[in-house]
Amino acid sequence: MKNLKFGIAGILFGIILVKAEVISWFRIQEMFRLESFHMYGVIGSAIFTAMLGVLLIRKMGWRSMSGEEIVVRKKPFTKGNVIGGLIFGLGWAITGACPGPIFAQIGSGFTVVFITLLSAIAGTWAYGKWKDRLPH
Amino acid sequence: MNFLKSPWPWYVAGPLIGLSVPLLMLIGNKALGISSSLRHICAACLPGKIPFFQYDWKKESWNLWFVGGIALGALLVLLFLGNGEPVALNPSTIAALRANGVQEFDEILPGDIFNWGNAFNGVGLLFFVAGGFLVGFGTRYAGGCTSGHSIYGISTLQWPSLVATICFMAGGFAMTHLILPPLMRWLLL
């Protein structure tokens, strides 16, 4: 049951993603066509708020609920950030979804997005299988 | 209640999304990141003999609870918190998509593309199968997605995440402007 709190956090996150309309395929098209500020506003203000939150945690020296010191996992630079990033961007504009919204689209009743999910899992598997042959 | 049922403006929704980063830190010392869940599903279901999938995925199962919650949260909005109105798009976006063959604008996704009838034809092959594959392959290759890189990574001041985010956007612009329009006209018109 120690994972229940993450399930509840997920429910809140899912509600916000849908109410923000960031799971909408149309909103993603609108963003890449530069015809609305909406998505840029959502992502930009999310980053800004997260940054303030992290800063506050650091300044106050807060620990996690279980008393651990909060660590930030360093993301090393690899060529994958560029090549994989471009590949994901192509898929983002087709499906109208990043991985989070895929789950939210399914929950919103678009059950066919389950195929998108299976395909995304297959893509992840293919990366794992051929990882060593790819430039990093 | 009226506010709960209408779509939320960016300046409400964005900060709430951003709060998930400190929230996950405080409740469990976790880093926001959703594409990892796809890796854990591979490790749990089809590890093969692939080193990339040979780890104790159960230790990361919080992530699967989180994405299960996302689907459930979306279902709750569908049942109780929606207003059933179409997304208020820029009319020029609607006009451009119409010209490329999209006809249904009344839900969050175009119903004429995202339906089971298209599961086994060219439309499905492009929008669910190829699109989904690129999302799964690309996010793992990039080491994260919009949550892990664009929100968690940039807000914790990690420059590789900024590079990845710029590339996400570049890929999206290329697809939307160069590749998708001819493909949509061919498949949908």
Give pLDDT, residue B3: 79
Residue reference for tokens 């990882």: A131
φ and ψ at A69, to 5 degrees? Answer: -75, 135
Alpha-carbon distance of A50 to B149, in angstroms, equals 12
Q: Is A69 helix (H, G, I), strand (E, B) or coil?
A: strand
Which has more pLDDT, B42 or B1?
B42
Distance CA B189, CA B182 (A): 10
**Residue B2 pLDDT more than 90?**
no
What is the per-residue pLDDT for A32?
98
Range B128-151 average pLDDT: 98
> How sure is the predictor about B87, in pLDDT bands with cuts at 50, 70 and 90?
very high
User: Tokens 């708020």 — which residue?
Assistant: A49
How far does B56 lie from chain A, in Å, by closest CA? 16
Q: Write down the pLDDT at residue B180.
A: 98
pTM of the model: 0.96
Per-residue confidence (pLDDT) for residue A1, from 0 to 100? 72
B150: pLDDT strictly greater than 90: yes
* Per-residue pLDDT at B80 exceeds 80: yes
Residue B188 vs residues B4, B87, B100, B104, B123: alpha-carbon distances, Å: 35, 21, 7, 12, 8
Q: What are the Cα distances from residue A87, in Å, to A19, A33, A47, B88, B157? A: 27, 18, 23, 29, 23
Low-confidence ranges of chain A (pLDDT < 70): none
Q: What per-residue confidence (pLDDT) applies to B84?
A: 84
Q: Are A53 and A59 in contact (CB under 8 A)?
A: no
Q: What average pLDDT does range B124-133 have in this prediction?
A: 98
| pLDDT above 80: residue B31 | yes
CA–CA gap between residue A50 and residue B91 (Å, rounded): 32
A 36-65 near B (Cβ less than 8 A): 36-51, 53-54, 56-57, 62, 64-65
Average pLDDT, chain B: 96
Average the pLDDT over B103-118 and give the result: 96
**Residue of B10, B57, B107, B150 to mutate, testing the A interface (most A Cβ within 10 Å of its Cβ):** B10
Contact residues on chain A for B18, CB-CB shorter than 8 A: 45-51, 53
Give the residue-averaged pLDDT of B149-162: 98
What six digits make up the tokens of B40? Answer: 């854990």
Per-residue confidence (pLDDT) for residue B4, from 0 to 100: 84
Query: For residue B61, what pLDDT band results from cuts at 50, 70 and 90?
Result: very high
- Nearest CA to CA, how far is B24 from chain A (Å)? 8
Can you read off the two tokens belonging to residue B89?
């798009």
Q: What is the pLDDT of residue B137?
A: 98
